[in-house]
Chains A and B, each alone.
Chain A
Amino acid sequence: EDKVVQSPLSLVVHEGDTVTLNCSYEVTNFRSLLWYKQEKKAPTFLFMLTSSGIEKKSGRLSSILDKKELFSILNITATQTGDSAIYLCAVGFNNAGNMLTFGGGTRLMVKP
């Protein structure tokens, strides 16, 4: 059975801290791993990773994929209160349906 597991479930930090969110997966026909940020409404796209070892970076956020060990991390440096959200990891498959399987999400709260 395909599985995507995120950890931790929730995290509380103070502004300025650096956080690392984890996503591990056990799937067949892996194609890509995606990170999303969800605040009050629908998720917003952060990164898509398909190749191992290549870091993707956007401002204070960065992510990397390890296809051998089957996991990805999302790093946020110098956190701000606006980073408070649920961070979702999803795996896309090489199949006709092209669906995503989501992990359980990590709820991040950044305190001032």
Chain B
Amino acid sequence: GAVVSQHPSWVICKSGTSVKIECRSLDFQATTMFWYRQFPKQSLMLMATSNEGSKATYEQGVEKDKFLINHASLTLSTLTVTSAHPEDSSFYICSARVGTGPFYGYTFGSGTRLTVV
């Protein structure tokens, strides 16, 4: 089935540094990729929608200069957390729609746990 590979699974970085998270669709083309953030014991919050070849659409309250999203190809989308701070520590998950017409689903990456110290 359709698989989204997300890397890294976990990362610890120092405050002020940048971290890049990659999501690759392995056996399908992901025109659109969604980036979610999850705080402990909370549901997923949509951060942005990335479309191949165009600028990402950010949800209200999400800083686009801090969370840089690039979707340069149909199989790769990246999220870069710039100048990370401890409050950016979270679980980040990407997701892509799979299929067309009325019978589509969504597949998720395995998530990246970011800890900023």
Contacts and interface: CB of A to CB of B under 8 A. Distances in A.
B95 to A, nearest CB: 7
Contacts of A100: 34, 46, 95, 106
A84 interface: no
Given A97-B32, A100-B34, A100-B46, A45 B109 contact: no
Contact of B49 (A41, A50, A99): A99
Size class of the contact patch on chain A: 20 to 34
Interface stretch (A12-20, A58-66, A103-111): A103-111
B57 A88 contact: no
Contact of B109 (A34, A42, A105): A42
A48 to B, nearest CB: 6
A45 B106 contact: yes
Contacts, number: 49
Interface centre among A6, A97, A103 (most CB of B within 10 A): A97
Contact of A103 (B32, B43, B102): B43
Given A41-B111, A43-B108, A100-B95, A88 B102 contact: no
A98 interface: yes
A7 interface: no
Contacts of B49: 97, 99
A42 B108 contact: yes
Contacts of B41: 107
Interface centre among B44, B45, B105 (most CB of A within 10 A): B44
B111 A42 contact: yes
B97 A98 contact: yes
A36 to B, nearest CB: 8
A105 B46 contact: no
A88 B111 contact: no
Given A45-B106, A48-B105, A105 B42 contact: yes
Closest 5 CB pairs of A and B: A42-B108, A105-B43, A42-B111, A102-B43, A102-B44
